[in-house]
Amino acid sequence: MSLLEKLDRAAAARKAQLPGGIGAFGIPIEAIYSATEARIGGRKILLLGTNNYLGLSFSTECREAAHAAIDAEGTGTTGSRMANGNYSGHRALEAEFADFYHCRSSIVFTTGYQANLGTISALLGKGDVALIDGDSHASIYDGCILSGADVIRFRHNDRDDLEKRLRRLGERSKNTLIIVEGIYSMLGDQAPLADIVNLKKQYGSLLLLDEAHSLGVLGETGQGLVEKTGLNQDVDFITGTFSKSLCGIGGYCVSNHEQLDQMRYVSHPYIFTASPSPATIAATRAALKILSAGTELRKRLWQNAEQLYSALKNIGYQVGPQPGPIVAIILDSPEQALAMWNGLMAANIYVNLILPPAAPEGKSLVRCSINAAHTPEQINYVSQVLSELYAKLH
Ligand code: PMP
């Protein structure tokens, strides 16, 4: 089969999976009004499918910081951190991330995807082992592939399965990086971090925690699952992204290991790409300040999340195992999920449609995500529409 025929075949498989459902992916946003509203298809739509957990995308402080940085430093750095792209803002943000986590140091990457790719591929090489949760994000899988290490998956959030695999590794467990996420992006559940920390200590492995969806969401100052569980000093590497609670684009890795700094000299996803733009860095620095002082925002976010999660459970929907800003409705088939997605769009509500293989265990998901800017009235409206759809589609 030719290279282009392979793409034709993939396109045909995609269309067969969901005839008429292609429009759900990459939907054009015509105008964006706020953290909760946009114009799509000529209509005002309630956004319930972003990762804007603290609702900061239009924050005055972040916008002003971005404008000032463009005026002072221009629109882009045009180069890598290793060459001409290492401005004082990048270094200041790294110091601020290290302070925020009370860790020795941090590295800023150009995206969250690259933070995982760059960290994993710098730590692991041929002959080493990546022991990863089966529901890991694609950036974790891709980082493992780039590293050349052997990749072993353990059953999602299953500490016994993790232990079984560590035991089988024997001496190799000492060359193993365990990788888990603070909040999983599809079902919104949290890793059993205390159990995982105990195992990594017992077997002499290292632990990387991706706080992409938990930064700003969990813990008194918003560090994530490390703070909620009090395990800040027990996780070897924490990665995360600017693209969710911080409303920018970029990523970071923080650690107490002095070797972190050496990654700058070996990590291709750090070296061979341009550094984040001055506006991105400035807005992220402003957002990190708001995030760490954002107890009130987190309280609102959790009130909203719990309101929707319990409403959907009461209606009878199968939802993820625990409440949080990601509330996933779990459905058996792509057709059911598409019917629900279409029903929500008809009621002017945008959510994420997630089909296999992106959804776990062959299921399909209607993934709702809540933020601190949603009002109780908006959540009531969503619950009412979902209640009507439940009656219609079941
Ligand atoms: N890790 C996880 C768990 C994610 O869900 C994502 C993005 N969805 C990333 C990393 C990558 O972050 P970014 O989109 O900012 O590159």
3 state DSSP class of 357: coil
Q: Are strands 237-241 and 251-255 parallel, antiparallel or unpaired?
A: antiparallel
**Residue 243 near ligand 1, beta carbon < 6 Å:** yes
Distance 248 CA to ligand 1 centre (A): 12
User: CA-to-CA distance for 158 and 148, rounded, in angstroms?
Assistant: 25
Q: Verify whether ligand 1 is closer than 6 Å to residue 133 (CB atom).
A: no
Structure tokens at 97: 């991330």
Summarize pLDDT for 126-184 with one digit per residue, the tens. Answer: 999 999 999 999 999 999 999 999 999 999 999 999 999 999 999 999 999 999 999 99
Q: How many CB atoms lie within 10 A of CB 352?
A: 21
Q: Residue 16: its pLDDT value, please?
A: 82
What residues does each domain of the chain span?
Answer: 15-47+295-393, 60-293
CA distance 283 to 66: 5
Q: How many CA atoms lie within 13 A of 297 on its CB side?
A: 26
Pocket lining: 185 vs ligand 1, CB cutoff 6 Å: yes
**Ligand 1 atom nearest residue 116's Cα:** 10
Cα Rg of the chain (Å, integer) = 21
CATH of segment(s) 15-47+295-393: 3.90.1150.10
Residue 181's SS3 state is strand
Distances (CA, A) of 19 to 23, 159, 334: 10, 39, 10
Global pTM value: 0.97
Rama region for 322: left / alpha / beta (φ>0; ψ in -120 to 50; rest): beta
Give me ligand 1 centre to Cα 370, in Å: 17
Tokens of 336: 């059911």
Average pLDDT, the chain: 96
Residue nearest to atom 5 of ligand 1 (CA): 185
Whether 114 and 270 have beta carbons less than 8 Å apart is answered as yes
pLDDT at 22: 65
pLDDT in tens, 1-60: 999 999 999 989 888 877 766 678 889 999 999 999 999 999 999 999 999 999 999 999
Instruction: For ligand 1, say whether the CB of 214 is within 6 Å of any of its atoms.
Output: no
Instruction: Establish whether residue 66 lines the binding site of ligand 1, counting it when its CB lies within 6 angstroms of any ligand atom.
Output: no
Distance of CA 210 from the midpoint of ligand 1 (Å): 9
Q: Is 245 in the pocket of ligand 1 (CB under 6 A)?
A: no
* CATH of span 60-293: 3.40.640.10
Please tell me the distance from the alpha carbon of residue 231 to that of residue 393, in angstroms, as a whole number.
44
